[in-house]
Amino acid sequence: MLRRIVVMIFGYLIAAGVGAVFLIVSALFDPATRELGLASVMTGLFAAFDQALIDGDPADALGAVGFVIWAVIIATCAAPLAIAALIGEAAGVRSLVWYSGACGLLAGASPWIARAAKGLERSQAMTDAEGRLALLFFLTGALTGAIYWLIAGPGPKRAPVEDLTSSP
């Protein structure tokens, strides 16, 4: 049991880390995501730096940018994987389809889940840019779930127990 918990934690950490790297790299390679993300980040940076200049503390600006990046990684890599892994372990599911599919669906739906949780109006509508981001989040979640399954999914192979009561 302790071995299984250690393998699950190790698989979770490796899969979430690889998913975070994949998310950042793939966002930089996709032209639409790069433009959308760059415009959002630059707008946020300038707003944060303007506020930091008014307040006099530039560390707050960098902290705000780091918080946004951290929140996106948690919402697309760590939280969906944690939910899928806990449900999979409780139900005894050892399927690649479960881990990859559940993580992908939860990660892809994370923008709408966040909007619905905050009660925002636009929780049903989707623009083209949001569709591309949802696809990127889905692929990130699917990759994260697949890597977790590769590390922690397949259970230990056990030899069949011979029936000692039967006579030859």
pLDDT in tens, 95-106: 999 999 999 999
Mean pLDDT over the full length of the chain: 81
Least confident among 14-18, 109-113, 136-140 = 109-113
pLDDT for the residue 30? 81
Tell me whether residue 132 is exposed, middle or buried, using C-beta atoms within 10 angstroms of its C-beta: 0 to 12, 13 to 18, 19 or more. Answer: middle
160, pLDDT greater than 70: no
SS3 160: coil
pLDDT in tens, 10-46: 999 999 999 999 998 888 888 877 777 666 666 766 7
pLDDT in tens, 50-77: 776 677 666 766 777 778 778 888 888 9
Q: What angle do CA 73, 77, 80 make, to 5 degrees?
A: 125
